[in-house]
Structure formats: structure tokens, C-alpha cells
Amino acid sequence: MKLFTLLTSTLLATAVSARSSIFGSSINVAPYDDALKVPGESPLQFCEDPKDNILELKSVDLDPNPPLPGKNLTIKATGTLSQNVTAGAAVHLQIKYGLITIIKQTLDLCDNVEKVDMKCPIEKGDITFEKEVELPKQIPPGKYTVFADAKTKDDEDVITCLTATVEFKVGGNVIVHQGLK
């Protein structure tokens, strides 16, 4: 649960900063690759062209939007699985703070989906996911990169791969880096 929460919190903290950046002043938004943007109201991007992914992610939406640090946020996702997702599927999670990898871990996907009221095998077809999380009030300044690569047993096929990078400045300025630049 901790790791799952950490993943979602980090992704959502990233979302918070990306959103608030729109309303901020001295903000520097990196060139943005629209082709890789995950549809919906979030700053997530696919790691690469998702056309062969088992999960066709149709939307990821955050509510409220913009999210508020220290407040609860609901994340909703919808998509379609082209195959059953069965035991052995894994999420390779990496979180970097600057150049330093602070988390590098492989999580069992099936163990973790139980925490959001899903169960393996996840049958192919349409799926929806909804989760409420508490966002951290304070985020230490620095650049964070989150990378989550979900694969089937023995890393045979990519289910989905998502990434987001954001930089928190001292004094509240935010620089958003989107994509793999």
C-alpha cells in the first residue's frame, strides 16, 4: 500500500504542480509532445507510442482540477484491456530526485490492484479505476521524475508505461518538464 500510495501521490503531486503552473507567473514550460500526452485532465505522458500496449488508456482525470496540495484528490481512469491481465504482471517503478534514484522497485501488479478494489485476472475489456488520495502539503524543492512501466509476466508485453517530470523551486515556482527530455 505504501508504495502504491507513494506512486499515486508522486504522480499527483506532479499533477498539482503542472496545473498550478498554468496560473503561476515566472514559469518555464518545456516543449511539450502532444502525441504522447495521456488523454484527459492530467500531466501524465506515455513513455513511448502506446499503440501496442495492452491497456489502451482512454482518459485520466483529476478532480478537483487544479488539485490542491494538502487536500484530497480523486483520480479517475478509464481504458480498455486487449488481453486478460494475470498473475505475474509487474510494475517497474522508478522515482528520481534530481539525478538520484530514490525509488527503484518492481511491484507485483496483482497484489497492488487489490488495494483499489480490483482483482486478478483482470478480464479484458473496458475497465475503470477510481481512487481518492491525500496530497502532501509540502514537497521538498527539486526535480522529480516518475517512471512506471507495467508489463505482463516475464516482461513479455507492455501493459502501459507512464512518466512525468516536474521541478519544484524554492519559493513556490514550478518548472514543468514533460516527456522524456
Ligand X SMILES: *[C@@H]1O[C@H](CO)[C@@H](O)[C@H](O)[C@H]1NC(C)=O
Is-cis flag, bond preceding 66, omega within 30? yes
Q: Are 69 and 62 in contact (CB under 8 A)?
A: no
Task: CB nearer to ligand X: give 32 or 129.
Answer: 129
- Closest approach of ligand X to the CB of residue 162, in Å: 21
What distance in Å separates the CA atoms of residue 88 and residue 78, rounded to the nearest whole number?
22
- Closest separation in Å from C-beta 9 to ligand X: 11
Which grid cell sits at 175?
A: 518548472
Closer to ligand X by CB, 36 or 60: give it: 60
What backbone torsions phi and psi does residue 169 show, to the nearest 5 degrees?
A: -100, 150
8 versus 178: smaller Cβ distance to ligand X: 8
Q: How far is the CB of 130 from ligand X (least distance, A)?
A: 11
- Binding residues (CB under 6 A) for ligand X: these are 72, 84, 121, 123, 132, 134
> Which is closer to ligand X, CB of 83 or CB of 94?
83
With H, G, I as helix, E, B as strand and everything else as coil, classify residue 74. strand
